[in-house]
Structure 1
Amino acid sequence: MSAMIGHAAIEQALDWPALIAQLRDWYVSGGVEAPDRQVLNIRQPDGSDASLLIMPAWVPGQSIGVKVVTFLPANAGKGRPTINAGYLLFDGETGQMKAALDGDTLTARRTAAASALAASHLARADARRLLVVGTGQLAVSVAEAHSAVRTYDSVEVWGRSRDKAAAIAADLAARGLPATLAEDLETACRAADVISTVTASTRPIIRGDWLKPGSHLDLIGAFKGDMRESDDTAIAQADLFVDLRAGATLAGDLSQPLEAGVIAPDHVLADLTELCRGDHPGRTDATARTVFKSAGMALQDLAAADLAAHHIISG
């Protein structure tokens, strides 16, 4: 009998230090096979576009998993989540289904943990000011995960909706983080040591001119070619890192400057596997502006699902 693992159980099983360590271990050890994710376009009755993403991965003889994600941008204007997901985990030896997991919570946890893992290599050790840009499902998780790898004196939240940003900041403060509302995006960016963006923006909202020397920019939200959170300057001036080259370079933050000739493919210095294995030292200059672009990886989903199932099913 397979288990149904919901939101609360996943959050409890995937505490930040354990999940970040799990991802680091899986990146170092290798062995995960993951075909390119499929992104299928779904034309909606009102003429808008939605997306269906299919992300499989397996470790032969150990685990097999697949995540199915829907992305409906029009939901944002209707007060509904834009992203919904489910995850199926199978025994890699017998092929039997072990668990069905809440894919939304799994995605939020693993995405935030991967960015925090990258920041542990790329953000300055003395980083003290964190800015979260966006008020969607990932905002709280990102703030908590980054706070698990650096000690922040200030966590600011900015969003197009001031009320939503204030609510996120209040939630984080209730969780024990030094969180406040950021009233002005440019002012907050200029002061921040680490900026994490979790929006569905289709045009740049972060300007490179706003990023101080030694800052770290964590770009999460824009995962398709027509989406973008940063401008050309932010990318061109940066020491640039990605979760996976094949996926990240298809997202607009990188695909658009690549197509325009603003950067070349070798501008990407390393991926998360190379950082975790020590093939690249990460930040080597205290004044460098680093950027980490993530588009999501099936490895992260399988690693998180495997950890959650181990804790919950094995007890």
Structure 2
Amino acid sequence: MTLILTASELQALADMPGTITAVQRAFAGLSRGTAVQPAPDSLVLPSSDARFLPMAALSEAEGLASVKLLADIPANQLASLPTQRSTIMLVSQLTGETLAILDGKVPTRVRTAAASAVATKLLARPGSTTLGLIGAGSLAVAHVEAMLAVLPFDKVIVWSRSADTVSVFCDEVGHHRLNITRASSVREVVESADVLCTLTPAIEPLVRGEWFRPGLHVNAVGSRPRPDHREVDTTGMVRARVFVDSLATAKAKSGGLIIPVAEGAMSFEDVKGELGDVAAGTKEGRLGEEDITLFNSVGIGLQDLAIGRLLYDAALNQGIGTHVELNN
């Protein structure tokens, strides 16, 4: 039987601390060779700017193979539709049975924030207390929850082009009793933060590396998976010790990395490692208090597999979802 889980059902099942643990375990598995994460293909037709990305993964620890089909359609914005939609399929590693089909909205948001939390846990200064957010939408709300699970932040400074979006953000995170500052510029956020999360679908860089203070950690999260989109400029990438979720994936679809390499300002060999290497203890992350570290987060299918395992198990335990016999 295959379990079908909708977005509203998944929202009730999401568990941030558990997801952080699962995502860190998945990253370490990739480094140790007990998980497989191929570079994704990007399916494009000449007649459209839409891209379709099948994101596959396989994990021995989780006993699953998975694939998420991500549809990235910028033109949807003109019709007031989501510009990204996705569906995740979970398959038993042992039998090949299709165990579950999940709407991808909630898992993608939660696992993305969880990956930033893992990077922050492994790369940020332990004494970090000020969280900076560029962007104030639902992903920013998820990042606050994730960041508080790994470090004792007491201040948040946030910027968005939309004052209304910032107001909604403040309402949604108000129960955390944080000292929240509404910044007047991106630069104000960057120069104030101990940990900076960039969460916008920017095409051209919003964040300048010349604004980076010694000791900063950056989670560059928001840009679309396209080689010409980025949030952080070349100077920022060059100044930082850069880590990625998957080097093969970053080489294929991260403008944040591809553009500085094309400009000759850095090479792919300048990337210090994959985050899983730090999680597995095979490579060093932050070397000192003054280091600037940066997690270039593109998003990989193994993260979807990790949270998919949690959500599937929780749904079975709580009797949530709809069972369908696909073989009939």
Q: Structure 2: how far apart are the matches of 1:287 and 1:54?
A: 39
Whether the aligned pair in 2 keeps the contact of 1:131 and 1:155 (CA below 8 Å) is yes
| 1:27 alignment partner AA | F
- 1:120-146 per-residue CA deviation (whole Å, 9 max, x = no partner) reads 011111111111112444222122212
Listed as ranges, the matches of 1:72-87 within 5 Å are: 72-87=73-88
Query: 1:24 maps to what in 2?
Result: 24
Query: 1:235 maps to what in 2?
Result: 237
Q: Structure 1: how far apart are the matches of 2:256 and 2:68?
A: 24
Listed as ranges, the matches of 1:153-168 within 5 Å are: 153-168=154-169
Whether the aligned pair in 2 keeps the contact of 1:43 and 1:50 (CA below 8 Å) is no
Q: Structure 1: how far apart are the matches of 2:167 and 2:78?
A: 19
Identity within the alignment, %: 33
Query: 1:225 maps to what in 2?
Result: 227
What's the CA shift for 1:43? Answer: 5.5
- 1:149-192 per-residue CA deviation (whole Å, 9 max, x = no partner) reads 11111122211222222222322224555444322221121111
Does 1:299 find its partner at 2:302? yes
Query: 2:315 maps to what in 1?
Result: 312
Structure 2: 5+ residue stretches without partners: 319-328
Listed as ranges, the matches of 1:121-136 within 5 Å are: 121-136=122-137
- The residue matched to 1:138 in structure 2 has which SS? helix
- The residue matched to 1:4 in structure 2 has which SS? strand
What's the CA shift for 1:58? Answer: 2.2
Q: Structure 1: how far apart are the matches of 2:213 and 2:77?
A: 32
| 1:233 alignment partner AA | T
Q: Structure 2: how far apart are the matches of 1:147 and 1:63?
A: 29
- 1:220-272 per-residue CA deviation (whole Å, 9 max, x = no partner) reads 12221110101111111111111111112331111000111101222111111
- The residue matched to 2:128 in structure 1 has which SS? coil
Q: TM-score, normalised by structure 1?
A: 0.92
Query: 1:55 maps to what in 2?
Result: 55
Whether the aligned pair in 2 keeps the contact of 1:169 and 1:180 (CA below 8 Å) is no
Query: 2:323 maps to what in 1?
Result: none
| 1:228 alignment partner AA | R
Query: When the two structures are aligned, how many residues end up with a matched partner?
Result: 312
Does 1:3 find its partner at 2:3? yes
Greater RCO, CA 8 A, separation 6+: 2
Does 1:279 find its partner at 2:290? no
Listed as ranges, the matches of 1:151-230 within 5 Å are: 151-174=152-175, 176-222=177-223, 223-230=225-232
Structure 1: 5+ residue stretches without partners: none
Q: Structure 2: how far apart are the matches of 1:284 and 1:65?
A: 35
Whether the aligned pair in 2 keeps the contact of 1:166 and 1:180 (CA below 8 Å) is no
Q: TM-score, normalised by structure 2?
A: 0.88
Bigger shift: residues 140-149 or 75-84: 75-84
RMSD over aligned CA atoms reads 2.0
Does 1:254 find its partner at 2:257? yes
| 2:244 alignment partner AA | V
